[in-house]
Amino acid sequence: MLKSFVRNILTLITLTASVTACVKGGQISSSGSSSETGAITVTLVYPTASGASWSPIIDTNDNNRYHIKGLNLTIAGICSRGVSKIMVNAYTETATCQGDGSFTFSKTYLSGAQGDITLTLTAYDSSDALISGSTATTYVRIDATAPSAPVISTPSGSPYEHSGSDAVFQILGSVSTDTVKLTGPGGVTITPSGTSWSHDVTLTPGSTLDFTFYSYDLAGNQSAGTTQTIEWSPNISLKAAGAFPGSSTITDGVSGFKLEAAIIAYPGSVNDNGASGMTLQTGFNYITNSVRAN
């Protein structure tokens, strides 16, 4: 029994020496700074509800800032060997470096926290010691507020009764400064010029049509719709399709009648006979002038 006891004591001393050597070798550190080396890289930032398939909207004019639609944010990235935990800013939220070298961090913001936010991600080893130089900074804008609905200035009222021969009508308007695009009839995309925009719509004779427009900000928030109603009554020329001798009195045997050379019809002119030298037949003492709407 004494031999067994001595053997166990020697084994314990050996294990203790091994652990001490491991600590001195820098594999485990309980100090504030780790001897590990590692790196973290942000690969994608997106609204959590949209999933990783969402194509990030980045403002290259503002620190490559990610514009996040809504209040739910997810950051995905890669982390190298030696990184165990990733802390975001001074928050208690952390992300774990997975065995495949990836990490994700998700956070839900309160509505009052909307706006521009800087997120600094810092790496730690398995003993919670900071890995020097292993940080990544990401700029985001949390945006759950839709832009104002587009304003239509021309025409000045809705419904609008349009008259004229032109089947194409140009609608003009303005948008808020955070609007980067509009959509119109059929989902067509309209790019504003500053805060002004225009779009040509095609009308239908005698029909009342609704044209609805929406504004979008860089995060993809959609405004309420603005609808313009237009009723088109094209110009109609009424022409007498009879014969006129140039006198208020029409009698038998009068010659020199001439049919009207052109009868006007939308969308253009329809040329008629234009023949002259017509003579009324004897006994035929009146001409009926029928009026046509073309």
Q: Cβ-count burial of 266 within 10 angstroms (0-12 exposed, 13-18 middle, 19+ buried)?
A: middle
In which residue ranges of the chain is pLDDT below 50? 1-31, 238-251, 258-277, 280, 284-294
- Give the strand order in the sheet containing 72-79: 40-47, 72-79, 102-108
Instruction: Evaluate whether residue 281 is within a structural domain.
Output: yes
Backbone φ, ψ for residue 49 (5° rounding): -65, -20
Instruction: Evaluate whether residue 24 is within a structural domain.
Output: no
Instruction: Evaluate whether residue 20 is within a structural domain.
Output: no
- Give the strand order in the sheet containing 196-202: 151-154, 168-174, 196-202
Instruction: Evaluate whether residue 115 is within a structural domain.
Output: yes
Instruction: Evaluate whether residue 22 is within a structural domain.
Output: no
Please tell me whether residues 173 and 275 are part of one structural domain: no
Please tell me whether residues 196 and 136 are part of one structural domain: no
| pTM (2 d.p.) | 0.65
* CA neighbor of 163 nearest in space, from 128, 133, 205: 205
User: What CATH number is attached to the domain comprising 134?
Assistant: 2.60.40.10
pLDDT, residue 111, reads: 86
| Amino acid at position 170, single letter | Q
Instruction: Evaluate whether residue 5 is within a structural domain.
Output: no
Please tell me whether residues 86 and 43 are part of one structural domain: yes
pLDDT digits (tens, 9 = 90+) for 52-70: 566 778 999 999 999 999 9
Instruction: Evaluate whether residue 7 is within a structural domain.
Output: no
Of 143, 160, 190, which closes a domain? 143
Please tell me whether residues 177 and 131 are part of one structural domain: no
For 179, the 3-state DSSP assignment is: coil
Report how far residue 78's alpha carbon sits from residue 99's, in angstroms, rounded to the nearest whole number: 11
Q: Count Cα atoms within 13 angstroms, Cβ side, for 80.
A: 11
pLDDT digits (tens, 9 = 90+) for 189-242: 999 999 999 999 999 988 999 999 999 999 999 999 999 999 998 865 544 444
Domain range for residue 267? 238-293
Please tell me whether residues 273 and 184 are part of one structural domain: no
Please tell me whether residues 89 and 189 are part of one structural domain: no
Please tell me whether residues 226 and 198 are part of one structural domain: yes
Please tell me whether residues 88 and 114 are part of one structural domain: yes
pLDDT, residue 267, reads: 45
Domain count, the chain: 3
pLDDT, residue 253, reads: 53
